[in-house]
Chain A
Amino acid sequence: MLDVKNISIVFNEGTVDEKTALNNINLSLEKGDFVTVIGSNGAGKSTLMNVIAGQLYPDVGDVLINGKQVIHLPEYRRSQFVGRVFQDPMAGTAPSMTIEENLAMAYSRNKKRKLTFGVTKSRRKMFKEYLQTLNLGLEDRLTAKVGMLSGGERQALSLLMTTFTDPDILLLDEHTAALDPSRAELITGLTKKVVTDAGLATLMVTHNMQQALDLGNRLIMMDKGQIIFEASGIDKQRLTVEDLLHEFQRIRGEQFEDDRVVLG
């Protein structure tokens, strides 16, 4: 479903700040795959997300979605296939617009936007049904401004908005990191449900190793722009946080230098 081929990208090439952000990355996701991505800061996780989403253009390499080359499509065109939830709960919704207007915008994602009402009676009914699945009572607050919602509620809404038009690829960029533990758990639960229900190909960046182990059927570890470790299926299920840290040390010959990973 998603094929990332030989992606390399170097920032500030030829200067003292030169940094190889991604070094020959190859990755392939099937429908229903849920891949968690871990790695220390600067490992290239976010860069990889940005390349897949179309926000960054790589120096070399190709991105294919459903076998179709999408590397030349700008971000707004690619977002027809790629849904994305950001770390910042404020990033995925428009605060001064109502819940139903936000949902209407998300609903138009894979269609051509027309000069007809964004929120109609039948759509409102559908939005209500979708919101009910969140169990947050948002279905009774359709005309409330999104800016009035809490961070957790906004993130839940973002997740719903990203997935309810069935994108092929779902990118989750540390989307629970900015929430308190109970809200993070709620969003994690919702994520699990949405991903299994829709059977998307999902890529989730996280700093929380335990979360990376609990969720998904595959795991990749990145460092210095490379994928240094991969586990899937039964191997992944058997992994523990200690194994991962140990694995990192074995491959890189150095300590994993991010406290957040262990504590988070």
Chain B
Amino acid sequence: MFISMFGAVESGIIYAIMALGVYLTFRVLDFPDLTVDGSFVTGAAVAALAIINGVPPIIATILAGIAGFLAGTLTGLLHTKGKVNALLAGILMMTALYSINLRILGQPTLSLHTEATIFDQLGNVWGAPIDNMLNSMLGIFGLERLPSTWGILIVMLLVTVIIKLITDYFLKTEVGLAIRAIGDNKRMIRSLSANTDNLTILGVALSNGLVALSGGLIAQLGGFADVGMGIGMIVIGLASVIIGEALFGTKTIARATLAVIGGAVIYRMIVTLALRFDFFETGDMKLITAIIVIIALISPKILKTQREKKRRIEKRRALEQEIKEVG
């Protein structure tokens, strides 16, 4: 149990980078960008291909991010200059990327098992003493099966938090404020002499850069890149954003981005828990995800209506009581 939860948190933190990307488009720009399903795989494919061709894993990971940035730029161009509807622009890019990803991979699946990934290199630098220390601490609580290394978790947490902090900073800069205003009141920010087209393109590009970076890391964590690994990624990202916002709130930008990271980790934990039931199979994951998103979207509204109803009934009853007493 602990070991599977540990794995969930580990991958959740990497998926959080993708969720931050989705947050940038869905929430900040108010641009429902479906490119994500494709650009996630593009990131994975570019990283895998680069590593197999002897590129240092860290460079390969950065290349993955750049590939996503380019894909996002195209979606942004399609939407702003081509005046294509946002949803359709994303779907078109997603479809086009499927073929491009297959070309990059050269085959449906590319294995990295024989290659040294960024995480293998990390393991070499990471001191075993720290693992021993943390594991012996957990041993006190009677846990027996312990993770082989804490390095991935801690370093990735650090990387994700740094990306979060950069995002927070960026959204408070003059450029970032203008990008946020596009999602809030496009007409106004245009009348304040901001080039909304270019800013939208930048936002969608950055978003997909993060998504592809996450894809590149997930490929290295799992040891493979597969052309189908991005299916439903947008829903997973959305699930993370919505769960996080519901649990942690969105009062400030820093709070909202933290919520997104938390949401991504919790989403992974929910899926891991769900898969522990024998009833569910791995293939059911997409269905579970969709149901989680539906619940997270609908339940707050139902709860609110219920509360309103209850309040009204109570008020009415109190009034009736009063009338009775007077009468």
Chain A: residues with CB nearer than 8 A to chain B?
Answer: 53, 75-80, 83-84, 90-97, 101, 104-106, 108-110, 113-119, 161
CB-contact partner of A94 in B176, B188, B193, B196, under 8 A: B188
Chain B residues closer than 8 Å to A105, beta-carbon distance: 174, 177-178, 181, 189, 192, 194
Q: Report 6 cross-chain contacts, Cβ distance below 8 Å, ordered by A residue.
A: A94-B185, A105-B181, A108-B178, A118-B173, A118-B176, A118-B177
CA distance A142 to B277 in the complex (A): 51
Interface-central residue, B178, B185, B189, by most chain A CB under 10 Å: B185
Does B175 interact with chain A (Cβ within 8 Å)? Answer: yes
Contact across chains for B192 and A116 when beta carbons are under 8 A apart: no
Contact across chains for A115 and B190 when beta carbons are under 8 A apart: no
CB-contact partner of A118 in B172, B187, B190, B196, under 8 A: B172
Does B170 interact with chain A (Cβ within 8 Å)? Answer: yes
CA distance A79 to B86 in the complex (A): 26
CA distance A200 to B86 in the complex (A): 39
Chain B residues closer than 8 Å to A114, beta-carbon distance: 173-175
CA distance A105 to B193 in the complex (A): 10
Chain A residues closer than 8 Å to B170, beta-carbon distance: 115
Contact across chains for B172 and A92 when beta carbons are under 8 A apart: no
Query: Given A94-B188, A95-B184, A113-B194, 16 more contacts at CB 8 Å?
Result: A75-B191, A76-B193, A76-B195, A79-B193, A84-B191, A91-B185, A94-B180, A94-B185, A95-B185, A97-B177, A97-B181, A104-B177, A105-B189, A113-B174, A113-B175, A114-B173
Interface residues of B in 161-181 (CB under 8 A from A): 170, 172-178, 180-181
CA distance A104 to B189 in the complex (A): 11
Chain B residues closer than 8 Å to A115, beta-carbon distance: 170, 173-175
Q: Could you tell me the distance in whole angstroms from the C-beta of B206 to the nearest C-beta in chain A?
A: 12
Chain A residues closer than 8 Å to B196, beta-carbon distance: 76
B 191-204 to A, binary, CB cutoff 8 A, 1 in contact else 0: 11111100000000
Chain A residues closer than 8 Å to B185, beta-carbon distance: 90-91, 93-95
Contact across chains for A79 and B172 when beta carbons are under 8 A apart: no
Chain A residues closer than 8 Å to B190, beta-carbon distance: 75-76, 79
Q: Could you tell me the distance in whole angstroms from the C-beta of A123 to the nearest C-beta in chain B?
A: 11
CA distance A119 to B181 in the complex (A): 15
CB-contact partner of B172 in A53, A109, A119, A161, under 8 A: A119
Chain B residues closer than 8 Å to A109, beta-carbon distance: 192-193
Given A76-B193, A113-B194; A108-B188 close (CB under 8 Å): no
Contact across chains for B174 and A118 when beta carbons are under 8 A apart: yes
Chain B residues closer than 8 Å to A94, beta-carbon distance: 180-181, 184-185, 188-189
Chain A residues closer than 8 Å to B194, beta-carbon distance: 76, 105, 108, 113
CA distance A118 to B178 in the complex (A): 10
CB-contact partner of B192 in A90, A117, A119, A161, under 8 A: A161
- Number of inter-chain CB pairs below 8 Å: 82
Contact across chains for A53 and B188 when beta carbons are under 8 A apart: no
CA distance A93 to B184 in the complex (A): 9
Chain A residues closer than 8 Å to B180, beta-carbon distance: 94, 97, 101
Chain B residues closer than 8 Å to A84, beta-carbon distance: 191
Closest to A110 in B: B193
Closest to B182 in A: A94
Chain B residues closer than 8 Å to A118, beta-carbon distance: 172-174, 176-177
Interface-central residue, B174, B178, B194, by most chain A CB under 10 Å: B174
CB-contact partner of B188 in A78, A80, A92, A110, under 8 A: A92
Contact across chains for B181 and A53 when beta carbons are under 8 A apart: no
Chain A residues closer than 8 Å to B188, beta-carbon distance: 91-94
Which are the 7 A-B pairs with shortest beta-carbon distances? A94-B184, A113-B174, A79-B193, A118-B177, A94-B185, A94-B181, A118-B174
Contact across chains for A79 and B191 when beta carbons are under 8 A apart: yes
CA distance A251 to B194 in the complex (A): 43
Q: Could you tell me the distance in whole angstroms from the C-beta of B245 to the nearest C-beta in chain A?
A: 13
Closest to B174 in A: A113
CB-contact partner of A116 in B173, B178, B195, under 8 A: B173
Given A93-B188, A94-B185, A119-B172; A101-B177 close (CB under 8 Å): yes
CB-contact partner of A117 in B173, B193, B195, under 8 A: B173
Chain B residues closer than 8 Å to A75, beta-carbon distance: 190-191
Q: Could you tell me the distance in whole angstroms from the C-beta of B28 to the nearest C-beta in chain A?
A: 10
Chain A residues closer than 8 Å to B181, beta-carbon distance: 94, 97, 105
Closest to A79 in B: B193
CA distance A155 to B178 in the complex (A): 20
CA distance A78 to B170 in the complex (A): 26
Closest to A101 in B: B177
Closest to A94 in B: B184
CA distance A79 to B193 in the complex (A): 5
CA distance A194 to B172 in the complex (A): 29
Interface residues of B in 189-223 (CB under 8 A from A): 189-196
Chain A residues closer than 8 Å to B176, beta-carbon distance: 118
Closest to A116 in B: B173
CA distance A65 to B252 in the complex (A): 41
Chain A residues closer than 8 Å to B178, beta-carbon distance: 105, 108, 113
Contact across chains for B177 and A79 when beta carbons are under 8 A apart: no
Chain A residues closer than 8 Å to B173, beta-carbon distance: 113-118
Q: Could you tell me the distance in whole angstroms from the C-beta of A113 to the nearest C-beta in chain B?
A: 4
Q: Could you tell me the distance in whole angstroms from the C-beta of B24 to the nearest C-beta in chain A?
A: 15
CA distance A77 to B189 in the complex (A): 12
CB-contact partner of A96 in B172, B184, B195, under 8 A: B184
